[in-house]
Copies of this chain bind each other. A is one copy, B any other.
Amino acid sequence: MGKKLAVVALGGNALLRGDQAGTIDEQEENTALTLENLVFLINEGYDLIITHGNGPQVGNILMRNDAGEQMYNIAQMPVDICVADSQGGIGYMIERMFRNVLNKHGIRKNVICIVTQIVVDKNDAAFSDPQKRIGKIYTKEEAEHLSATKGWIFREEVKADGGFRRVVPSPVPIDIMNCSNIRDLARKGNIVIAAGGGGVPVYIDEKKDVRPAEAVIDKDLASSLLASLTGADEFYILTDVPYIYINYKKPDQEIKEFLSYTDAMKYLNEGQFAKGSMAPKIEACLNFLKRGGKMSVITEAFKLADKKYGSKITMEYED
């Protein structure tokens, strides 16, 4: 087993940017551009597992569920089904575009997408303090009605135009179904797409039945766990900044190209990284190293092929 295994997490922007309308043409073009950069890792001899976000896509699926109920009285699907839908649609799109990128480069490799359930703990503190905002912005009256009829929990938006958004828990992933199959498929040379959108969140009840969780799991934490459970050597988070920064967007901003576990943890604890954005990415990187991973990388997709770019965190680097 001489080949290195890498898990590469594609951020939301890698598939659909916030300034785009969300058409399939835009998504396909972004995806192909992102995947072009992974050819570098394939040529370097890596086996690959790809994970991806689903923020804009599952947001649209939730909005369509709302609209379908209002216009046509079609039963809304719960969050777990919406996440699973997004794994199917996005996973298929990535698989198809990846096949075409490989074809363009004359690389003979197969691509396969696994619908992935990820297990959380029903007693995770997140379930009593839901924080993750999903779906559309409602008026106060709509939110009160939905709260009464569906039991949804809402929080007021802080932005100028206000309104209310549904919040769901974002529990910590503790196990991933089919991770040994995902590893075996990757080790046989398949590029495996898995754990999309942080995985379909489920928990195991007292009868050992698998039950759906009305929750969403952070994509980077889920990807990091998948990297550990598949015995990956390296874990890449592709996002919309080229580096990890200290004093980000301040006059004394500093690029951190090489970080040790200890220093990254220190900066994390100092609050150097934005909550819900860079902080969970750093946490995901550190978790991977703590569980035995060799290197975590945070960078932009199109900087991947240039080894000078991107921030690398390992156990041994000294700041």
Residue positions of A touching B, CB distance < 8 A: 21-24, 60-61, 63-68, 70-72, 74-75, 77-78, 80-82, 84-89, 91-93, 95-96, 99-100, 103, 110, 112-115, 117, 136, 178, 181, 185, 190, 193, 200, 202, 207-210, 212
CA distance A209 to B106 in the complex (A): 12
Q: Within the complex, which residue of B64, B80, B81, B202 is in contact with A64, where a contact is CB–CB below 8 Å? A: B64
User: With A112-B114, A112-B178 known to touch, is A81 a contact of B89 (CB < 8 Å)?
Assistant: yes
| Other A-B pairs, 8, CB within 8 Å; known A91-B115, A181-B185 | A64-B65, A64-B74, A66-B71, A77-B89, A84-B89, A87-B115, A92-B115, A112-B114
CA distance A22 to B68 in the complex (A): 13
Q: Within the complex, which residue of B66, B115, B190, B208 is in contact with A113, where a contact is CB–CB below 8 Å? A: B115
Best-surrounded residue of A61, A103, A190 (most CB of chain B within 10 A): A61
Residue pair B75, A23 in contact (C-beta under 8 Å): yes
CA distance A63 to B249 in the complex (A): 45
By a CB distance below 8 angstroms, the chain B residues around A78 are: 24
Q: Within the complex, which residue of B70, B81, B202 is in contact with A67, where a contact is CB–CB below 8 Å? A: B70
Residue pair A202, B96 in contact (C-beta under 8 Å): yes
CA distance A70 to B23 in the complex (A): 15
By a CB distance below 8 angstroms, the chain B residues around A185 are: 181
The residue in chain B whose Cβ has the minimal distance to the Cβ of A197 is: B88
Residue pair B99, A210 in contact (C-beta under 8 Å): yes
Residue pair A88, B67 in contact (C-beta under 8 Å): no
A242 to nearest B CB, angstroms?
29
